[in-house]
A and B are shown apart, each in its own frame.
Chain A
């Protein structure tokens, strides 16, 4: 009985100390450090340097001159003197430095980012981690994921472990490796997985800095498994967005779940995202997706779908609203069949199988024109016109 207060006081002391100590951090950076080194060592031999030579195509942008243009001397009659145009890049000129690739199989299949091939290079060279250099042959591409396959004549290459992208949790550690700077060890950027199933389920989002310094490099987890390949993407998955360089919004296309597509790409196929050719009536909130426009000669038009029809289900999945249908079609690739259940204007329902096409060139041209119109022409350009 005499001991009770003592016990009490000791307990109080312990509780008090614990309260003051707060939540102790179990894993400090020093423990994490060794784990990171191990993870890097597992994947580093499977990353390769991709160097390209030649090529003609210019990447869009670069409208402003690098050197000052000749301005007329003196004051022009009846007007202010024009200011010289600002220098520097308005758009961007893609760097031609080396990029990175990941070994996909022992017999020399290598997955690279489409970024490496944007210039249509005449020669692609792959340098392995041990310094051997090979000539690579360009094979298929997946435009929607911004990835491409190349093949080298080599055997017994180290293949990394690929993680299942469906088991990735938001907030887990993620590191991007790259081989642009040509050092012996790959460069590494630190971050976490920001989101899964971005860009119609094609990519993971990460806050590790991604830019040409590591495009084509693997996004790895703390156990040294490859989650995806770092690619230039924006949320629409259409183009490389220079505004996103090192911004903390990076995308990594998942590889482990697209084995059938990789088999198609190995045969040299160029894959595009699927295109149905419909426009939505945004006043319709569901159920089903109501169509406002159907583009002529598109896949949907050929299947007998016209405007003011309502799409009720796709491949047996009930369509909740316009956006839901957009999501469900966005997952598909060009050439994939989809089974649609459609309601006509007169409430009659019918089922039809549509083979998706790629986005027609005319459509792309219109989009480009609209994008160009959005860029306000600079004053001296106006004069020229």
Chain B
């Protein structure tokens, strides 16, 4: 009896020692995850793929990241030039290389769906682990997030993609710029302080609990701050495209949206715009009698600072913002007279 117990004890001790040895000898073996963050990352990693494509351009990387969104092998990634028909391959997290079909891109968000080719799909040994899309998002600023992607092509084959930690900085809807070009994206963006480097594009942004909340974008500049932002497109904006692609099998070409017809509005406000290169603040020069501007009570020398939630910093802003409205619409105008701030509602009229 005593012998047995001693034997058991020694086996246990040996087991512990062997266990420790394994960790030191096989440094490439991951240890079991302990914290919630580690568990989340290891749970999410199988859904992330490395995307490799063709690119003849110096400034555009030939690699990015994608996320598996269906069991049939649909993969969502960012629409870069590198994604070309017959030239694009993906690498699953276990190192399997697959060829993919390319779907038509979604113009608005700049994302594209890929699908593993049937031949390669049948050869897969393990079933795919798709991420589910959360349509409603209630994460407030300051929520911890982890961003996963193949930044700078550091991971090859079965090597794991990189994780960066940050918080949700803000959910914003602001002007964006990419290499001196304005980006035409009207939707909401999740800005994080988890760094977003080349190659990280198309990767996912996850909460600590493992919920997928956004698809990493290219590094864009905010026109508001002139500084670069790491941003992600919220999954809620992508849900419709993903559903359409999965349902139809092959999504047809995206129909172009109806062109927005700008109907000029009559407000009767003449601003003091001297027409120099730098547009001056929107000071009122005169207001036409009987016009909506006169009804509001605007007077010369008032400074228009806001229309609804849009800040009017210059006369140019004023003209730009007015294009968003139609005759008959009522807006809240905020203006400054002397040292007082006043607000009143103005209804635009048709131009006679």
B167 contacts A188, C-beta separation under 8 Å: yes
Contact with A along B305-318 (1 / 0, CB 8 A): 11001010100000
Bound CA span A294–B13, Å: 75
- Contacts A9-B9, A24-B34 given; does A125 touch B305 at CB 8 Å: yes
> Which residues of the partner chain A approach B306 to less than 8 Å between Cβ atoms?
133
Does B59 have its Cβ within 8 Å of any Cβ on chain A?
no
User: A336: shortest Cβ distance to chain B, in Å?
Assistant: 35
Asked whether, in the complex, the Cβ of A13 is within 8 Å of the Cβ of B12, the reply is yes
Select one of A30, A54, A188 contacting B281, CB under 8 A: A54
Q: Is A364 an interface residue (CB 8 A)?
A: no
Q: Among the listed B35, B167, B303, which residue makes an inter-chain contact with A25, where contact means beta carbons less than 8 Å apart?
A: B35
Task: State which of B208, B228, B339 has its C-beta within 8 Å of the C-beta of A246.
Answer: B228
Distance, CA A33 to CA B144, complexed state (A): 7
- Tell me if B334 and A133 are in contact (CB < 8 A): yes
Decide if A5 touches B166 in the complex (CB within 8 Å). no
Judge whether B171 and A183 touch: CB under 8 Å. Answer: yes
| B222 interface residue (CB < 8 Å to A) | yes
Q: Is residue A16 within 8 Å, beta carbon to beta carbon, of the partner chain?
A: yes
A135 to B339, CA, bound (A): 6
Among B15, B140, B226, B341, point to the contact of A185 (Cβ < 8 A). Answer: B140
Interface centre among A20, A98, A137, A181 (most CB of B within 10 A): A181
Contact flag A51-B140 (CB < 8 Å), given A19-B20, A25-B35, A213-B227 = no
What number of A-B contacts does a CB cutoff of 8 Å give?
Answer: 164
Residue with the greatest number of chain B CB neighbours at <10 A, chosen from A24, A211, A213: A213
Residues of A1-40 whose CB lies within 8 A of B? 2, 5-6, 8-9, 12-13, 16-17, 19-22, 24-25, 28-30, 32-33, 36-37, 40
**A241, CB-defined interface residue at 8 Å:** no
Sample of 25 A–B contacts (CB below 8 Å) = A2-B2, A12-B13, A16-B19, A28-B35, A30-B36, A30-B208, A37-B140, A37-B142, A53-B281, A53-B313, A87-B180, A123-B303, A125-B305, A133-B306, A180-B225, A182-B174, A183-B141, A183-B172, A188-B141, A189-B193, A212-B224, A212-B225, A212-B227, A213-B169, A245-B227
Write the residues of chain A forming the contact surface with B, with a CB cutoff of 8 angstroms: 2, 5-6, 8-9, 12-13, 16-17, 19-22, 24-25, 28-30, 32-33, 36-37, 40, 51, 53-54, 66, 87-88, 92-98, 122-123, 125, 133-135, 137, 153, 175, 180-183, 185-190, 208-209, 211-213, 245-246
